[in-house]
DNA sequence: AATGAATGAGCTTTCATTCAT
DNA sequence: TATGAATGAAAGCTCATTCAT
């Protein structure tokens, strides 16, 4: 049978990764079958092995690449900044934006770690630790400077990350809540939560004047 | 062959549920095999069907029972309270305590919904919506009274829940962080986050004086 | 749980046999499960074993009893008759009537022999051979007397039995075709088929004057 | 492990169908396991699914193909004929020959319809109805022309089919009874049975002069 | 780089049967 | 005599992976 035009070489790998992200996001790694994935890409299951080595490796690559990218871009965004409050605001903005833009990759990187083989798991957890460490450091600096007031830096780190990652599981583009509103709301929550003075940055205050009554959510 | 004494009737079901919770927590619903589960309980795989109707139903029952219990106990804890700030503090306390105590059930109820069949999924999502609704209402009341200040009530609901549910994925009994410390930290984060005046409840301020430097987490 | 009143002792066995006949007729022996059977009777699967020894034995008993009964009643009907033509007519009448009345048992005795264990199979086949032998003998006598004209007695035996047993797979009480019409039609077919002079028995000729146009059958 | 040479592609499917026919004929559809079937073909059970979609579909295909073939060849044999008596004789000859040649397929098509899923069952029954309709039409034409005399055309259709299909359950190649003898005997039975004048076709009369005494059958 | 056919292990579920109560 | 819980085998089917072509 003639093969589908346009799925040669590296393009096929990209198609596999893309379909993989979607299928893992939708069904979970365990529940996704390589036959499904192959069908999505338009090839036979066996042909996948011209592009990936194992199903496990596909997951590992997707997760690892995601976190590496996350870390690289975060460092880019923070480059040259010194004020803890500004850095925290940048962190919040970056994290929320990035997670809403690539919610599927994020979701996978958070919820499918369990399916990683021990060796792969450790690699990924180390990377994740580095990313978390950036936030911990910001908080520690801020507390040292007296800019933040938190009960426990470790807890605060986890809590803020949990809070900021939340939207990636309910955000729907085109819904009632715009990215900007979500970002503003989380920025306020975090900065208030750590006791940062926010008076200087007028936008937050302004944002809080928007209507906020709607009880109907957009979760599916 | 003689069967193991002491594993009859309802006891067996309870053992199945208990082992089920643990295995699903550890490997995920899809990755848990009924052979594994049966072995854990000490019976043959086929014998499971004297107690459950399908694997799917086991998951559904576990999740549904968990959320029902959660809702019932929350309402018990909130009974008779009227002040939004007090109610929010109770909500935070209840949620965090409950989730740390039954972290496995909570984890399952959060992360395995994807594995529920559509009909079961809808039932559970409706229950979860009722639980979330309690928090939404508290926030709405507080905003109406001027006690809270939030950008968007819906976002705040999701954010607070994400934040509060976080510990169940990293809390380890016996670790550096006690339940009390975690609870206090989250209470402060939430109340500060929504702009509630906390001066009246001295404990929170006090708690913030504890050391908080440790950067090493207890995530696995 | 209290047991259903009216299903004690021999009554239960009778209920099992009755339900067994129906279920085997509907689904086949292999496809009928003892759980199904037990449910039909209103007891638990394990309780069946107070009344039957094995599933195989239930089938064997049903088939054996059926053929024994068939043989006994045939001999009763033929008792004292000597004229081959009359005996053949009696055989046809008896066989068709009996099979339409107990079509399920007949069906089972014909189509589930395959499921009998070798030893049981042989017993039943011997019984069936005895029944077939009655017809063979009638035909042989008739041929010897010059009353019948058949190509091969053995073939004629099989053919007549196949022909006469047919109705039990399509007869529906209350349908267009009455038992009497079916009986008359088969009597004529058989007697004509073996070349028996039928002029003496006016009814057959008469019956042939009835309308016979309907092409629409009553098979389900 | 190297796979058996010579069992690739369509050959494997043909082997599966062939073995399937034999196993279903011997044990029945329900009693045949796919592991058995696969072993017969020389592959693993799972490999069957490279060639069939389900066990049910295998049965359906076998039965459907058989009846389609039957119908096609019957129409070929009857092509251009107009005389009802000749057509009936052709029908008898074709049916008996075909069924003795492909007795296993025929047996399955008759006795395993019960195992077809409702949708498949209906398709097959419709096809079977078409085949039966050919005979019904021949009889109706013959009756209209005064060539046949039957009590009821519908009954006669069923009866003749039952009679003619009989041999496929007891015929053994190489036994005492040759195909020709069986054919002649059934031709005579049917033509006599419907009251067709047979004097014109000398062979039938002749055939009836053969010995016909053997009481011992060749049923297994 | 793709295919189609194969493997062997695994899955959930059903089954006839047993047996202490 | 009935029950409920157990067994151990087997069922149909899916899976990730391999490999000759």
* A111, A130, A163: best to mutate for the B interface, most B CBs within 10 A: A163
- Residue with tokens 């997951």, as numbered in its chain: A59
**Is C115 in contact with D28 (Cβ distance < 8 A)?**
yes
Q: Domain check: are C64 and C109 in the same one?
A: yes
Partner A, chain B 139-198, Cβ-Cβ below 8 Å: 140, 143, 149-163, 165-167, 170, 176-177, 181-182, 184-186, 188-190, 192-195
Asked if pLDDT for residue B220 goes beyond 60, the answer is no
Q: What's the gap in Å between the CA of B76 and the closest CA on chain A?
A: 23
In angstroms, the CA A96 to CA A90 distance is: 10
D12 or C198, greater pLDDT: D12
Output the distance from C41 CA to F3 C1' rounded to whole Å: 15
- Decide: helix, strand or coil at residue C83: coil
Give the per-residue pLDDT at D162.
94
Asked whether the beta carbons of residue A114 and residue B152 sit closer than 8 angstroms, the reply is no
**Touching D: C residues 91-120, CB under 8 Å:** 111, 114-115
User: Does A19 fall in a domain?
Assistant: yes
Domain shared by D202 and D99, yes or no: yes
What are the chain C neighbours of D163 within 8 Å (beta carbons)? 159-160, 162-163, 166
Question: Could you tell me the CA-to-CA distances from C179 to C101, C176, C191 in Å, in that order?
Answer: 9, 10, 18
Task: Closest CB to D189: pick one of C111, C159, C182.
Answer: C159
> CA C30, C22, C174 angle in degrees (round to 5)?
135
Give the span between the Cα atoms of B212 and A159, in whole angstroms: 14
**Residue of least CA–C1' distance to E3:** A44
Are chains A and B in touch, 3+ Cβ pairs below 8 Å?
A: yes
Mean pLDDT of B159-175: 91
- CB-nearest to B143 from A158, A192, A212 is A212
CA of D173 to C1' of E15 (A): 38
Does residue B213 sit at the A interface (CB-CB below 8 Å)? yes
Q: What does the buried/exposed string (b/e) look like for D137-174 if buried means 16 or more CB atoms within 10 Å of the residue's CB?
A: ebbbbbbeeebbbbbbbbbbbbbbbbbbbbbbbbbeee
The answer to which of A189-198, B59-68, B180-189 has the lowest mean pLDDT is A189-198
Domain coverage including residue D76? 56-207
Find the residue closest to F17 using CA and C1' atoms.
Answer: A46
Chain B residues with beta carbon closer than 8 angstroms to that of A219: 125, 129, 158
Average pLDDT over residues D105-123: 95
Please indicate, yes or no, whether residues D128 and D74 belong to a single structural domain of this protein: yes
Q: Is residue D140 part of a domain?
A: yes
Chain E, protein-covered positions (CB within 7 A): 1-20
Number of H helices, E strands in chain D: 9, 0
Is the pLDDT score of C212 beyond 80? no
The counts of H helices and E strands in chain C are 9, 0
Burial, C98: exposed, middle or buried (Cβ in 10 Å; 0-12, 13-18, 19+)? buried
Residue C52 contacts residue C16 (beta carbons within 8 Å): yes
Question: Is D33 part of a structural domain of the chain?
Answer: yes
* Cβ atoms of residues C168 and C107 within 8 Å: yes
* Same domain (yes/no): C89, C164: yes
Question: Do D154 and D48 reside in the same domain of the chain?
Answer: no
CA distance C86 to C191: 10
A66 touches chain B (CB under 8 A): no
Query: Considering the domain boundaries, does residue B218 fall inside one?
Result: no
**How many CB pairs lie under 8 A apart between chains A and B?**
173
- Compute the distance between CA of residue C191 and CA of residue C96 in angstroms, rounded to an integer: 14
List chain A pLDDT tens, one digit each, 220 residues: 444 444 466 899 999 999 999 999 999 999 999 999 999 999 999 999 999 999 999 999 999 999 999 999 999 999 999 999 999 999 999 999 999 999 999 999 999 999 999 999 999 999 999 999 999 999 999 999 999 999 899 999 999 999 999 998 899 998 999 999 999 999 988 998 898 866 444 444 333 333 433 333 344 4
Please check whether residue A99 lies inside any domain of the structure. yes
CA distance linking residue C53 with residue C72, whole number of Å: 26
State residue B195's pLDDT score: 87
CB contact under 8 A, D166 and C158: yes
CA neighbor of B214 nearest in space, from B161, B165, B178, B164? B178
Q: What is the pLDDT of residue C214?
A: 35
Contact A28 B30 (CB under 8 A): yes
Under a CB-based contact definition with an 8 Å cutoff, are residues D106 and D171 in contact? no
Using H for helix, E for strand and C for coil, what is the string for chain B? Answer: CCCCCCCCHHHHHHHHHHHHHHHHHHHCCCCCCHHHHHHHHCCCHHHHHHCCCCHHHHHHHHHHHHHHHHHHHHHHHHCCCCCHHHHHHHHHHHHHHHHHHCHHHHHHHHHCHHHCCHHHHHHHHHHHHHHHHHHHHHHHHHHHHCCCCCCCHHHHHHHHHHHHHHHHHCCCCCCCCCHHHHHHHHHHHHHHHCCCCCCCCHHHHHHCCCCCCCCCCCCC
Residue C214 lies in a domain: no
Out of A129, A165, A192, whose CB is closest to B192? A192
* Residue A190 in domain: yes
Chains in touch with B (≥3 Cβ pairs < 8 A) = A
Q: How far apart are CA D121 and CA D114, in angstroms?
A: 8
From chain D, pick out residues whose CB is under 8 angstroms from the CB of C188.
150-151, 193
In the three-class reduction of DSSP (H, G, I as helix; E, B as strand; rest coil), residue C72 is classed as: helix
For nucleotide E1, the protein residue with its alpha carbon nearest to C1' is A50
Q: For a pLDDT cut of 70, what percent of chain D falls above it?
A: 86
* C-alpha D102, offset from chain centre: 6
Q: How many CB atoms lie within 10 A of CB B31?
A: 16
Q: How far apart are CA A94 and CA D174, in angstroms?
A: 87
* Spatial separation of the C-alpha atoms in residues B131 and B122, rounded to whole Å: 14
> Which DSSP category does C11 fall into?
H
Query: In this structure, what are the phi and psi dihedrals at residue D79, rounded to the nearest 5 degrees?
Result: -55, 125
**Which is nearest to C190 in space by CA: C142, C127, C121, C145?**
C142
Chains that touch D (3 or more CB pairs under 8 A): C
Residues D168 and D102 both lie in one domain? yes
Distance CA B52, CA B32 (A): 15
Inter-chain CB proximity B166 and A185 less than 8 Å? no
Written as one string, the DSSP assignment of D7-42 is --HHHHHHHHHHHHHHHHHHH-TTT--HHHHHHHHT
The residue whose two tokens read 């990377």 is A127
Q: What percent of chain B has pLDDT over 90?
A: 76
Chains C and B lie in contact, requiring 3 or more CB pairs less than 8 Å apart:
no
- Do residues B59 and B111 lie in contact, with contact meaning Cβ atoms separated by under 8 Å? no
pLDDT, residue D198, reads 64
Q: How many domains would you assign to chain C?
A: 2
Residues 6+ apart with CB under 8 A from B212: A143, A150, A151, A152, A153, A154, A155, A156
Is A14 within a domain? yes
List CB contacts (< 8 A) between A27 and chain B: 114
Measure the CA angle with vertex A187, ends A181 and A190; round to 5°.
140
- pLDDT over 50 at D219, yes or no: no
DSSP string for residues in D58-124: HHHHHHHHHHHHHHHHHHHHHTT---HHHHHHHHHHHHHHHHHHTHHHHHHHHHSGGGS-HHHHHHH
CATH number of the domain that residue D12 is part of: 1.10.10.60
- Let me know whether A15 and A112 are in one domain: no
Query: Residue B62 half-sphere exposure, CB side, CA atoms within 13 Å?
Result: 34
Partner-chain residue, chosen from D151, D189, D219, that has the shortest CB–CB distance to C212: D151
The arithmetic mean of pLDDT across residues D162-172, rounded, is 91
C-alpha separations of D89 from C163, D68, D94 in Å: 18, 21, 8
Q: What is the CATH number of the domain that holds A108?
A: 1.10.357.10
CA distances (Å), origin B97, targets B21, B64, B211, C8, C204:
19, 19, 22, 56, 92
Choosing among B159, B183, B190, which should be mutated to test the A contact, i.e. which has the most A CBs within 10 A? B159
D76 and D28 within one domain: no
Bases of strand F lying below 7 A from some protein CB: 1-20
Is residue A95 domain-shared with residue A138, that is, in the same domain?
yes
Cα distances (angstroms) measured from residue D124 to each of D20, D118, D205: 18, 10, 38
Who among D114, D167, D213 is closest to C28 (CB)?
D114
Distance, CA of B37 to CA of B43 (rounded, Å) = 9
Q: How far apart are CA B5 and CA B3, in angstroms?
A: 6
A45 with A69, same domain: the answer is no
B44/B46 Cα distance (integer angstroms): 5
Nearest to B215 among A114, A136, A218 (CB): A136
As a whole number of angstroms, the distance between CA D179 and CA D173 comes to 8
Chain C: give the shortest CA distance to residue D2, in Å. Answer: 36
Per-residue confidence band for B126, with pLDDT thresholds at 50, 70 and 90: very high
Contacts of B153 in chain A (CB under 8 A): 212-215
What pLDDT is recorded for position C151?
Answer: 86
Burial of D48 (0-12, 13-18, 19+ CB in 10 A): buried
| One domain, residues A81 and A39 | no
Q: Quick one: which of B176, B133, B139 has its CA closest to B156?
A: B139
Closest residue in A to B188 (Cα) is A193
Interface test with A, best of B188, B194, B208, B219 (most A CBs within 10 A): B188
Cβ-based contacts of B28 with chain A (< 8 Å): 28, 30, 114-115
Q: Could you read off the pLDDT of B70-111 as tens digits, one per residue? A: 999 999 999 999 999 999 999 999 999 999 999 999 999 999
Q: Are residues B61 and B122 in the same domain?
A: yes
Instruction: Write down which chains contact chain C via at least 3 CB pairs under 8 A.
Output: D
Distance CA A193, CA A150 (A): 8
* Whole-number pLDDT of residue B198: 65
Query: How far B39 CA sits from the closest chain A CA (Å)?
Result: 21
């Amino acid at each position: 049978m003639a093969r589908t035009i346009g799925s040669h070489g590296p393009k096929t790998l990209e198609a596999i990764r893309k379909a993989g992200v979607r299928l893992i996001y939708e069904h979970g790694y365990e529940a996704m079958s390589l036959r499904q994935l192959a069908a999505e890409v338009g090839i036979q299951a066996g042909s996948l092995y011209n592009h990936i080595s194992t199903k496990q490796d596909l997951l590992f690559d997707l997760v690892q690449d995601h976190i590496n990218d996350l870390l690289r871009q975060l460092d880019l965004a923070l480059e040259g900044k010194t004020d803890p409050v500004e850095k925290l605001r940048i962190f919040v903005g970056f994290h929320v934006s990035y997670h809403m833009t690539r919610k599927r990759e994020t979701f996978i990187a958070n919820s499918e770690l369990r399916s990683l083989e021990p060796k792969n798991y450790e690699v990924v957890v180390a990377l994740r630790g580095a990313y978390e460490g950036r936030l911990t450091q910001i908080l520690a600096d801020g507390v040292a400077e007296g800019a933040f007031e938190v009960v426990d830096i470790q807890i605060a780190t986890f809590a803020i990350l949990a809070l900021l990652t939340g939207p990636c599981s309910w955000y729907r583009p085109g819904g009632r809540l715009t990215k900007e509103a979500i970002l503003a709301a989380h920025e306020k929550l975090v900065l208030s939560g750590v006791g940062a003075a926010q008076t200087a940055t007028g936008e937050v205050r302004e944002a809080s004047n928007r209507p906020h009554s709607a009880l109907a959510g957009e979760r599916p």
